[in-house]
């Protein structure tokens, strides 16, 4: 619990669209806090520490700004990390606890990521970016699109998001196959999918979509060997986490047209460096990690953040994040 005698300094990080103060009632903290919003991203550790030193509370948007031990131990004023979503693997919760810093989270909904996944699938299958650009240039039709009906969707990870992606696939008349390290046949069938071996999924699927939690055992779980198995007409979608796919292998597969294309919303380094090949590869659609960037989710994130800060100031229970 914080002392309420003097206003606490709150930093809202990585508010790229400058909307944090508009999507929650921060006036509830009036007189008890001073809020500073940062719209840019700082990746240099020394510069980040210098920026954050004055603040008792830091509001972080998902994993945009990691807070490892090396950063936390240099922030003597920090008392509360208010993260968006229930979990945040980029925060060293154990280190925060050692330094007496509370870490809290918020509610979350995965439906927006499901919706973006299908938007990207449609964009790839019907070549929408190029067709749109053609009309804007004064041209007309460029390509012949692909049907979804009758195609096979391979889902890597049939959890909360993957299972909803599978549900939509059935509406388009697609067959669904699935694989993950712990998936059982019964679980797959419950969601209308057929459990297959990992290699079989990459050989059979017309579209592969990835929906795994990033962990030590899933980093690079899709490598050159999996990409080599894919049909040259197949597409790969990643709205989960960039490091699940070995980046160099995917760049090579796309440049050499080993697969038809990919749609990516997440990357190993974010924001994506200006000279990164994903910014220029013609058969890749790239979006700036917007899977969860919707008004409804942001209202939940920032609304719960305000509630968490108020509860912390008042010594009341908050949504504590587990490490």
Active site residues per annotation? 241, 270, 289
Residue 34 corresponds to which tokens in the numbers above? 């001073």
**Cα gap 88→92, rounded to integer Å:** 9
Residue 163: strand, helix, or coil = helix
How open is the CA angle 262-267-271, to the nearest 5 degrees? 125
**Cα gap 190→93, rounded to integer Å:** 35
**Cβ–Cβ < 8 Å for 49, 72:** no
**Cβ–Cβ < 8 Å for 288, 272:** yes
**Cα gap 192→159, rounded to integer Å:** 13
**Cα gap 21→24, rounded to integer Å:** 6
Among the residues of the chain, which ranges form H helices?
A: 45-52, 69-72, 93-98, 111-125, 128-136, 160-171, 185-190, 198-204, 224-229, 247-255, 295-313
CA 103 distance to own-chain centroid = 20
From residue 240, give the alpha-carbon distance in Å to each of 34, 110, 181, 258, 271: 34, 11, 16, 22, 15
């Amino acid at each position: 619990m914080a002392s309420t005698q003097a206003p606490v300094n709150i930093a809202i990080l990585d508010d790229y669209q400058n909307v944090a103060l508009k999507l929650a009632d921060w006036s509830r903290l009036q007189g008890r806090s001073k809020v500073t919003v940062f719209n840019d991203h700082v990746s240099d550790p020394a510069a980040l520490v210098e920026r954050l030193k004055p603040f008792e509370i830091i509001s972080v948007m998902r994993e945009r700004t990691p807070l490892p031990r090396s950063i936390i131990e240099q922030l003597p004023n920090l008392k509360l990390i208010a993260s968006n979503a229930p979990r945040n693997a980029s925060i060293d919760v154990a280190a925060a606890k050692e330094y007496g810093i509370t870490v809290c989270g918020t509610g979350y909904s995965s439906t927006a990521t499901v919706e973006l996944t299908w938007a990207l699938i449609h964009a790839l299958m019907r070549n929408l970016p190029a067709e749109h650009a053609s009309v804007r240039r004064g041209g007309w039709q460029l390509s012949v699109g692909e049907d979804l009906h009758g195609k096979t969707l391979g889902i890597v990870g049939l959890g909360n998001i993957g299972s909803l992606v599978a549900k939509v696939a059935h509406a388009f008349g697609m067959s669904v196959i699935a694989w993950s390290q712990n998936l059982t046949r019964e679980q797959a069938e419950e969601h209308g999918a057929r459990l297959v071996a990992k290699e079989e999924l990459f050989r059979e699927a017309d579209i592969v979509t990835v929906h795994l939690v990033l962990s030590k055992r899933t980093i690079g779980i899709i490598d050159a060997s999996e990409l080599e198995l894919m049909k040259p007409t197949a597409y790969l979608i990643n709205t989960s986490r960039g490091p699940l796919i070995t980046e160099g292998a995917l760049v090579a597969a796309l440049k050499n047209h080993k697969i038809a294309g990919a749609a990516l919303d997440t990357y190993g380094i974010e924001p994506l460096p200006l000279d990164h090949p994903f910014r220029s590869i013609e058969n890749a659609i790239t979006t700036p990690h917007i899977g969860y960037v919707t008004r409804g989710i942001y209202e939940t994130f920032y609304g719960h953040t305000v509630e968490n800060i108020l509860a912390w100031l008042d010594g009341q229970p908050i949504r504590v994040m587990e490490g």
